[in-house]
Amino acid sequence: MNLNENYLDTGVPKSQLKHSRSGNLECIPIVASTSEPTTSVNLDETFFKKAPLAVPISDNRSISKSASINSLNTTYLASRGSPLQAKKSQTKTGVLSTDLATSNNDIMQASIIPKKHSDLYADWGNDIRSRLAESIYSMETSVRGSEIKRRPYVSNEIPNVFKFSKLNINSEPSGNQVSCDKNFLIFTSAGKPIYSMHGKDEQIMSYTGLVNTVISYFQVNGPSELKTISTLTSGKRLTFLDKSPILLMAQSERGESSNELLNQLDFLYSYILSSLSERQLLRLFSKRENFDLRNYLETTDFENLNEICSLICNRMFPDLLLNSLQCLPFRHSSRLKLQNVILQQLEKRQDIPRGTLLYGLIIAPQNRLCCVLRPRGHTLHTTDLHLLFCLISHQFQNLDETQELWVPICFPKFNSSGFLYCYIKFLPNDTQSNEKSALVLISAEKDAFFSLKSFSDELIIKLENEGLLKKINASKGFKLSDIPAPMVHHFIYKSKQNVQYVMPHFEVNSKISLESSQRLEYELKLKTYYQQLHSTVVRDNGNILSRSILNFVKWSSKDSKDQTVDETRLNFSELDEYIIGNSSFEQESVNMLGMAWVTPKFELYLIGNNGVVDKKVLFKSARKVATWCQKHESRLFISDGAVF
Residue 92 in the binding site for other proteins (CB under 8 A): no
Cα–Cα distance between 252 and 314 in angstroms, integer? 13
Exactly one of 56, 175, 235, 484 binds other proteins (CB under 8 A); which one? 235
Q: Would you say 232 or 474 has its CB closer to other proteins? A: 232
Query: Which range of residues in 47-55, 398-406, 497-505, 541-549 is near other proteins by CB under 8 A?
Result: 541-549
Angle between helix 258-276 and helix 299-313 axes, rounded to 10 deg: 160
- Residue 454's H or E segment, with its range, is helix 449-466
Alpha-carbon radius of gyration of the chain? 27
Surface-to-core class of residue 587, CB atoms within 10 Å of its CB (0-12 exposed, 13-18 middle, 19+ buried): middle
Structure-derived torsion over alpha carbons of residues 537, 538, 544, 550, reported in degrees to the nearest 10: 0
Compare residues 204 and 385 and give the one whose CB is closer to other proteins.
Answer: 204
- Indicate the burial class of 51 (C-beta count within 10 angstroms; 0-12, 13-18, 19 or more): buried
Helix axes 299-313, 382-394, angle to 10 degrees: 110
Stretch that binds other proteins, among 50-58, 212-220, 446-454, 475-483 (CB under 8 A): 212-220
SS (H, E, C) 71-137: HHHHHHHHHHCCHHHHHHHHHHHHHHHHHHHCCCHHHHHHHCCECCCCCHHHHHHHHHHHHHHHHCC
Residues 575-594 that bind other proteins (CB under 8 A): 590
Pick the binder of other proteins from 60, 82, 546, 564 (CB under 8 A): 546
Q: Which of 255, 292, 397, 624 binds other proteins (CB under 8 A)?
A: 255
- The answer to whether 547 contacts other proteins (rule: CB under 8 A) is yes
Residue pair 50/42 in contact by the 8 Å Cβ criterion: no
> Which of 16, 33, 280, 551 is in the footprint of other proteins by CB under 8 A?
551
Q: Which is nearer to other proteins, 552 or 628 (CB)?
A: 552
Strands 368-374 and 642-643: parallel
**Shorter beta-carbon distance to other proteins: residue 58 or 560:** 560
Total interface residues for other proteins by CB under 8 A: 66
Q: Is 535 in the site for other proteins (CB under 8 A)?
A: yes
Does position 522 bind other proteins by CB under 8 A? no
- Alpha-carbon distance of 556 to 587, in angstroms, equals 13
* Residue 512 and residue 63 in contact, taking contact as beta carbons nearer than 8 Å: yes
Site membership for other proteins, residue 644 (CB under 8 A): no
C-beta closer to other proteins: residue 328 or 612: 612
Answer for which of 212, 500, 532, 582 binds other proteins (CB under 8 A) is: 532
Candidates 232-240, 353-361, 383-391, 401-409: pick the segment binding other proteins (CB under 8 A). 232-240
Least CB distance to other proteins at residue 560 (A): 7
Candidates 35-43, 333-341, 557-565, 626-634; binding stretch for other proteins (CB under 8 A) = 557-565
Distance CA 78, CA 59 (A): 28
In 3D, which of 437, 409, 435, 482 has the Cα closest to residue 338?
A: 437
Decide: 264 and 312 in contact? Cβ < 8 Å.
Answer: yes
- Near other proteins by CB under 8 A: residue from 60, 103, 146, 233: 233
Among 53, 399, 405, 553, binds other proteins (CB under 8 A): 553
Summarize as ranges the residues that interact with other proteins (CB under 8 A). 161-165, 178-179, 207, 210-211, 213-214, 217-218, 221-222, 224-236, 238, 251, 253-258, 528, 531-532, 535-536, 539-540, 545-560, 569, 590, 613-616
